[in-house]
C-alpha cells in the first residue's frame, strides 16, 4: 500500500494518526473511525509541511486556522493536536467521549487548545471558515502595511459529503466565491460513503462543476487518498491562487486499510471492533497487539512542530515590535482589540432619544449604529438582503467586496443561515466583532448557527427586526409569534426585546461590551413612544434584565411586559390608577439577565405577595408562567397572526391597554373576594 510523496517515517506518522483514532473510538465503544483513517495522509502533510501554528501558544494571532468541518471525525483532530505538542496527553485521547475530557465526541470551541470552531452540525464549520476568511481579509487591509504583513494567515478546512449536502454550506460557499476569498482552502474528503450507504443513493451532482460555478478554483485528485505528491502539489497550487477560494476534491476510502470495514457505511459511525482493528493494524504493518502505540521516532518527528511554531512566532514578534515602532497607533489598536477593549466609552457616545417622539426600535438601532460605529472601527455588520428594513447599515460605511476588503458592511444576500455561521466565524477572529440582520421570523433559518454560537459562547450579535404582529399587512408568514419563546429557550443566548429607543441604545451597549456569548436584539417595525426617563426609570436598567418602570407605592397589581407591549402596560396602569388600584409596571427586556439577579432584587421587581400579575407580550405564553405564578394571567397570542394593519392586529387579538386593565381589575376583585 504505497504512499507516494511520503518516506517510511512519514508513513509511520500517518499510521500512528490512523490507529490513535481507531483505538480511541474502540475504547470509547462510540465514535467515527472511518474518516480519520482515510484522511490521515492529507492531514499529516498539511499539519507538518504547510499549516502555520505554535503549539505553545495556540492563540497566536497570525496562526493559520484549521477547521475540521466534518466534526464526527474529531479523533483526527485530537490525534494531530496531541502529536504536534498541544496541551493534550495520551490519557486525554484514551478519555475520548468521556465526562469532563478534553476530547468530546465532536470538537467544541477551545482555541487555547487548538480547536478553532465547534463542529458537528454539518455545514457549520465550512461556513464558519468563510467568516474567518472575511475577517482575515478585512484585518489585513486594516492593519498591514508595506513590509509589515502582520496578519497574512490562511484558513484550511477538511469537509465531507455531508458538509456539502447541507444547504448552509451552499449559501456560504456561493458568497465566498463572489467575494474571491483566496485565503480559504477546502479539502473535500470524497469517500463516497454516508450513513445510509453509498452517496450515490442521494448525492449525484457534479460537485466540482458546482464549485466552479460558485467561482472557486477546483482541483480533483483520484486514487485512494494516499498519493501525497499529487495532494501536496494541489495544496501548493491552492495556496498560490490569488483570485478565488480553493477546493481540493480528494478521493479517499473510509476506514482505509480495514479488510472488512473499508468503504462501508458502518465504518462512518461505529467502532470497527477489536478484531477488525487488529486485522487493520496487521494489514498496514502495525503491531496488532499494541493499543495507543506512538513510536518514539514518530513523536520526535511530529513534535518538530513545537520548534517550528516557536520560530515562526518569534519572527512575527520581531516584526510586530518593528511595526509598533513605525505605526504605534495601529499597534495600540491591535493590542486593545486583542484584549477586548473598546476604543470608546459607549455610554458617552450613545444617542439620547427624547420623550414625545415615536421611534421604531429598528430605526433607533440604526441611529445607535450611526453614533457608535465611527468610534469602533473593528466591527463588521450586514444584512440578509434586508438592509433598508433592518437599518443595519450605518452612515459613511461602504461594502466589503472582493476589491474592497476594507469595507465594513457585508451584503449577505438572501442567505440567513450562512449569515449566522459567517458571523460566528468573524466573531472568533480574536480582533473583530460582527452583527447581522434579518426579520425575526427568519431566525428559524438561522437557528443552527445561533445554537452553535450559544453553545460555544461566540460573541455574535443577531439583529432581528419586524418582531411581532405589529408588522401588519405582510401577514402570518412574516409575523413571529412563537419566536420569543423559542429563542429564550436556547441556553446562553441573551435575548433583548427593548421597550423603546433608549432601551434599544442600552441593549446595543450591553451587546458590544458582552464577550461571553451571543446577543439577540428583537426590534419593532412600528413606531413606539419614547418613554420619559424623567418620569419613569432609566433605560440603563436593561442590564438588570427587568426593572420597575413605574410604581405607585406597594402594588396590588404588577404588569409585566417586553418590547412594544411596555407602552400598552403603561397605558393600562393609568386606567388602573383611575380606579385607585396601585399598579407596578415592569419592563422585561432580557429574561436571562433578570434571572441572574439576586433574590432580593427579583422579589422587589415582582413581589412574591402580589397575586395579580399580568404578562403582556405579542407572542405565545410559553415561559411566562414562572413570572406570573399560579394566579397570574397572560395577554398575548395563542395563534398565528393575520394580514391587516398592525394596530388592527393588536386590537383584534386583544392586546390593548383596555383589555389589560379589565383583566387586572377582574382578577384583583376575584382575589380580594376569595381572601375575604
Catalytic positions, written as ranges: 416
Of 406, 482, 401, nearest to 440 by C-alpha is: 482
Sheet arrangement for strand 65-68: 65-68, 155-160, 184-190, 246-251, 217-221
Report DSSP state, residue 354. Answer: P
CA dist 635 → 227, 466, 467, 658 (Å): 66, 20, 17, 11
**Contact (Cβ atoms closer than 8 angstroms) between residue 25 and residue 33:** yes
CA 113 to chain centre: 19
Cβ proximity of 88 and 102 under 8 Å: yes
What angle, 0 to 180 degrees and rounded to 10, lies between the N-to-C axes of helices 565-578 and 657-675?
50
Q: How many CB atoms sit inside 10 A of residue 115's CB?
A: 25
How many Å apart are CA 511 and CA 527, to the nearest integer?
A: 22
- Spell out where 85-216 has E strands: 155-160, 184-190
Return the closest-CA partner of residue 623 out of 636, 611, 612. Answer: 636
Angle between helices 167-179 and 416-427 (to 10 degrees): 70
Q: Alpha helix (H) ranges present in 200-295?
A: 207-214, 228-240, 266-269, 274-283
Q: What are phi and psi of 668, to 5 degrees?
A: -60, -45
Spell out the SS3 assignment of 574-633: HHHHHCCCCEEEEECCCHHHHHCCCHHHHHHHCCCCCCEEEEECCCCCCCCHHHHCCCCE
| Dihedrals phi, psi of 249, to nearest 5 degrees | -90, 100
Q: What gap in Å lies between CA 562 and CA 624, rounded to an integer?
A: 11
- By C-alpha distance, which of 449, 431, 429, 453 is closest to 132? 429
**What is the rounded (10 degree) CA torsion for 532, 536, 537, 539?**
-20
CA distances from 396 to 174, 371, 399 (A): 27, 11, 10
Quote the CA–CA distance of 599 and 206 in Å, as a whole number.
60
> Do the beta carbons of residue 488 and residue 623 sit within 8 Å?
yes
574 grid coordinates: 393609568
Query: For residue 207, which of 154, 159, 157, 155 has the smallest C-alpha distance?
Result: 159
Q: Distance between terminal CA atoms of the chain?
A: 90
Amino acid at each position: 500500500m504505497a504512499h507516494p510523496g511520503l518516506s517510511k517515517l512519514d508513513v509511520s506518522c500517518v499510521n500512528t494518526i490512523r490507529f490513535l483514532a481507531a483505538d480511541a473510538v474502540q475504547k470509547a465503544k462510540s465514535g467515527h473511525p472511518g474518516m480519520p483513517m482515510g484522511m490521515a495522509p492529507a492531514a499529516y502533510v498539511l499539519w507538518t509541511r504547510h499549516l502555520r501554528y505554535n503549539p505553545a501558544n495556540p492563540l497566536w494571532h497570525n496562526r493559520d486556522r484549521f477547521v475540521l468541518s466534518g466534526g464526527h471525525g474529531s479523533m483526527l483532530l485530537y490525534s494531530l493536536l496531541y502529536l504536534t505538542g498541544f496541551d493534550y496527553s495520551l490519557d486525554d485521547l484514551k478519555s475520548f467521549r468521556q465526562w469532563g475530557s478534553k476530547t468530546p465526541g465532536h470538537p467544541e470551541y477551545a482555541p487555547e487548545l487548538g480547536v478553532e470552531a465547534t463542529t458537528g452540525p454539518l455545514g457549520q464549520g465550512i461556513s464558519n471558515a468563510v467568516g474567518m476568511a472575511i475577517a482575515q481579509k478585512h484585518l489585513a487591509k486594516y492593519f498591514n502595511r508595506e513590509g509589515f504583513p502582520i496578519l497574512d494567515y490562511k484558513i484550511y478546512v477538511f469537509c465531507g459529503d455531508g458538509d456539502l449536502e447541507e444547504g448552509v454550506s451552499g449559501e456560504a460557499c456561493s458568497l465566498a466565491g463572489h467575494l474571491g476569498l483566496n485565503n480559504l482552502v477546502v479539502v473535500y474528503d470524497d469517500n463516497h460513503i454516508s450513513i445510509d450507504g453509498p452517496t450515490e443513493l442521494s448525492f449525484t451532482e457534479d460537485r466540482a462543476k458546482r464549485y466552479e460555478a460558485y467561482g472557486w478554483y477546483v482541483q480533483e485528485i483520484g486514487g485512494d487518498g494516499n498519493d501525497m505528491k499529487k495532494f501536496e502539489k494541489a495544496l501548493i497550487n491552492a495556496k498560490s491562487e490569488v483570485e478565488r477560494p480553493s477546493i481540493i476534491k480528494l478521493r479517499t476510502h473510509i476506514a482505509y486499510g480495514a479488510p472488512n470495514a473499508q468503504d462501508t457505511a458502518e465504518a462512518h459511525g461505529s467502532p470497527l471492533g477489536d478484531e477488525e482493528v487488529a486485522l487493520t493494524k496487521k494489514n498496514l504493518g502495525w503491531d496488532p497487539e499494541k493499543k495507543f502505540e506512538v513510536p518514539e521516532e514518530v513523536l520526535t518527528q511530529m513534535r518538530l512542530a513545537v520548534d517550528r511554531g516557536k520560530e515562526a512566532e518569534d519572527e512575527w514578534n520581531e516584526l510586530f515590535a518593528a511595526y509598533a515602532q513605525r505605526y504605534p497607533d495601529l499597534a495600540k489598536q491591535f493590542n486593545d482589540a486583542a484584549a477586548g477593549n473598546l476604543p470608546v466609552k459607549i455610554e458617552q457616545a450613545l444617542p439620547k432619544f427624547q420623550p414625545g417622539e415615536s421611534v421604531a426600535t429598528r430605526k433607533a438601532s440604526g441611529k445607535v449604529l450611526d453614533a457608535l460605529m465611527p468610534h469602533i472601527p473593528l466591527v463588521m455588520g450586514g444584512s440578509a438582503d434586508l438592509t433598508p428594513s433592518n437599518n443595519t447599515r450605518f452612515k459613511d460605511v461602504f461594502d466589503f467586496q472582493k476589491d474592497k476588503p476594507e469595507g465594513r458592511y457585508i451584503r449577505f444576500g438572501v442567505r440567513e443561515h450562512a449569515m449566522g455561521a459567517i458571523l460566528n466565524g468573524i466573531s472568533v477572529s480574536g480582533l473583530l466583532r460582527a452583527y447581522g440582520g434579518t426579520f425575526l421570523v427568519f431566525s428559524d433559518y438561522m437557528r443552527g448557527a445561533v445554537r452553535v454560537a450559544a453553545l460555544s459562547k461566540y460573541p455574535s450579535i443577531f439583529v432581528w427586526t419586524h418582531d411581532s404582529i405589529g408588522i401588519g399587512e405582510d401577514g402570518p408568514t412574516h409575523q413571529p409569534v412563537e419566536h420569543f419563546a423559542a429563542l429564550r429557550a436556547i441556553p446562553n443566548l441573551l435575548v433583548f426585546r427593548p421597550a423603546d429607543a433608549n432601551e434599544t441604545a442600552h441593549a446595543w451597549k450591553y451587546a458590544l461590551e458582552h464577550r461571553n456569548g451571543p446577543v439577540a436584539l428583537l426590534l419593532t417595525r412600528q413606531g413606539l413612544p419614547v418613554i420619559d426617563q424623567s418620569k419613569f426609570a432609566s433605560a440603563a436598567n436593561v442590564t438588570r434584565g427587568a426593572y420597575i418602570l413605574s410604581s405607585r407605592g406597594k402594588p396590588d397589581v404588577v404588569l409585566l411586559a417586553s418590547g412594544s407591549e411596555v407602552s400598552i402596560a403603561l397605558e393600562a396602569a393609568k386606567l388602573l390608577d383611575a380606579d385607585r388600584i396601585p399598579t407596578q409596571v415592569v419592563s422585561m427586556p432580557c429574561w436571562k439577565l433578570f434571572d441572574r439577579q439576586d433574590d432580593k432584587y427579583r422579589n422587589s421587581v415582582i413581589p412574591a405577595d402580589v397575586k395579580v400579575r399580568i404578562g403582556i407580550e405579542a407572542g405565545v405564553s410559553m415561559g411566562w408562567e414562572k413570572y406570573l405564578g399560579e394566579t397570574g394571567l397572560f395577554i398575548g397570542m395563542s395563534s398565528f397572526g393575520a394580514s391587516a394593519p398592525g394596530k388592527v392586529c393588536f386590537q383584534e387579538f386583544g392586546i390593548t391597554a383596555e383589555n389589560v386593565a379589565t383583566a387586572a381589575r377582574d382578577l384583583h376583585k376575584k382575589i380580594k373576594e376569595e381572601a375575604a
